[in-house]
Amino acid sequence: MLHRHGQAVEAEKTPDTAHLREAGSPPPAPPCAMVIFGAAGDLTKRLVVPALCNLAQAGQLSGQFRLVGVDHNTGSAEKWREKLAAAMHDFVVQGGESNVNAVDQSAWRWLSERMSYLQGDVNDPGTYTRLRDHLAGLDKTATTAGNYLFYLAVADRFFAPAVAQLGAAGLATETERQWRRVVIEKPFGHGLLSAKALNAEILKTLKEHQIFRIDHFLGKETVQNIMALRFANGLFEPLWNRQQIDHVQVTVAETIGVEHRGKFYEKTGALRDMVPNHVLQLVAMTAMEPPISFDADAVRSKKTEVLQAIKPMDQAQALRDAVRGQYGGGTVVSQNLPPYRQEPYVEPNSTTETFVAWRFSIDNWRWAGVPFFIRTGKRLRRRSTEIAIRFRQAPFALFRGTQVGQMNPNWMILRIQPDEGIALEFAAKRPGPVVTLSNVSMDFAYKNYFKAAPNTGYETLIYDCMIGDATLFQRADTVEAGWQAVQPILDAWTDNSPSDFPNYAAGSDGPAAADELMARMGRMWRPLA
């Protein structure tokens, strides 16, 4: 019996994958059939199936695991396998998100032998009847134990109908020995009201413990390490408060544009796409109170409390404290690129934002008076996701009469990607008879200490779904708290169209208004370059 994140996992005998596991690695997940709706989609090819392949390579899937693809496209299991194999090869060649140099052929054969395909429309009740019969057949031949994991890799408009159809077909009903779980991708709503409505709809069919609202950001090892850094080290936790911290910056910067997702992005924008989920989850893990255990609900309750404590804004405050931008033409990594308005499927006079900066406060005892600054955008100078914690300035009195002109700031930098690690920046005296200070850095890089397993960011999350550990997934109240925080900005921007788009060049650090947002409080963004 292994306890992981407070969950008990039965170790099982799987002779065909046991040789793949390293000493101390988790045991295989329990037997189950995983059903992917949207089997021919980009998400399935680019992230989900490569993640399953990596789990197979690590020996973390049961020998009785089965994978069922459901899609409206005509096809067969053999054709599905061929398309997936070709797509994974292309992503490896192009340096895709799988973080591998080559597809492990042994793991791929193991996985592909366990794949089947079912053609069907997600809105057609007959699809779910055929799926129920297909799964019943797998239960007899593969001993999947009647455990089903349904993955909704489909457009968000299908989330509620698909869950309702699963319920109508009896596929969502659990017993003491058989679990049924549903993975739901983002966007989980497009605002507070739609998020509440979606939660209400799916909770008519499923219980909260069956719902896994996935955010691949939280599958990254360095994000999970935020809690280990804070709560496993007596060195840092006493400093993690308003008495010691001046402000916090969270940056999620991308060099890519919208690629070929113009239709989606025009309806979404940077705020909806990134802030209520990815960015605020980073904020929550940084600012949460210590949970009493790693039990899923203990951790999620503390994260939800942080989001609920974000100070509400009226429209005037939202317009003052939130900045939006849209990229124009420019140069990124020596490549000349067009403006957002010339991207495929984008309106020529689009007012959709591709950049967001926001200043807010968390109104609780730990963080009162500490400003939080977040920024996220596309076509920026450098790809970087980091959490930067600026500590309060030390008194200058001791250094009067020396050549020290000012005190250097102290920073802790949590780098999420691409160079995962942690840095501490502080002042040290330069050698010599004169007292002068220089900034120095103590830098820890994960790649120098730990062997990085191939990953897409989904491996941990999919494995957790199979063992029933919901720690890294958002609860209904967490999702709604995130939307509650940003809804005033959405409302204010709807009522006030921008007149200055595009307002930053591709390859820059973002619009000048984002710098002004910081300058009004006497702060500066850490440079991206």
Catalytic (active-site) positions = 278
At residue 500, the 3 state secondary structure works out as coil
Residue with tokens 């991207």: 343
Distance from C-alpha of 233 to C-alpha of 198, rounded to nearest angstrom? 39
At residue 3, the 3 state secondary structure works out as strand
Q: CA separation (Å) from 383 to 216, 296, 333, 379?
A: 17, 31, 10, 9
Which residues, listed in sequence order, are joined to residue 388 by a DSSP beta bridge? 249, 413
Cβ pair 202, 172 in contact under 8 A: no
Distance from C-alpha of 46 to C-alpha of 194, rounded to nearest angstrom? 28
Picking from 117, 119, 126, 123, the residue whose alpha carbon sits closest to that of residue 169 is: 126
Distance from C-alpha of 34 to C-alpha of 179, rounded to nearest angstrom? 12
Distance from C-alpha of 56 to C-alpha of 28, rounded to nearest angstrom? 9
Q: CA separation (Å) from 414 to 285, 286, 420, 421, 519?
A: 12, 10, 8, 6, 23
Which letter does DSSP use for residue 364 in this model?
S
DSSP symbols for 298-330: HHHHHHHHHHHTBPP--HHHHHHHEEEE-EESE
Distance from C-alpha of 364 to C-alpha of 288, rounded to nearest angstrom? 10
**Radius of gyration of the chain, Cα coordinates, nearest whole angstrom:** 24
Query: In the structure encoding, which two tokens stand for residue 137, read together?
Result: 């057949």
At residue 33, the 3 state secondary structure works out as strand
Distance from C-alpha of 240 to C-alpha of 235, rounded to nearest angstrom? 10
Omega before 498 cis (within 30°)? no
DSSP symbols for 410-463: PEEEEEEESS-EEEEEEEEEPSSSS--EEEEEEEEEHHHHSPPPP--S-HHHHH
DSSP symbols for 189-227: -SSHHHHHHHHHHHTTTS-GGGEEE--GGGGSHHHHHHH
Q: What is the dihedral of CA 11, 15, 19, 23, to 10 degrees?
A: 20
HSE, side-chain direction, 13 A CA sphere, residue 250: 21
Q: How far apart are the first and last CA of the chain?
A: 48
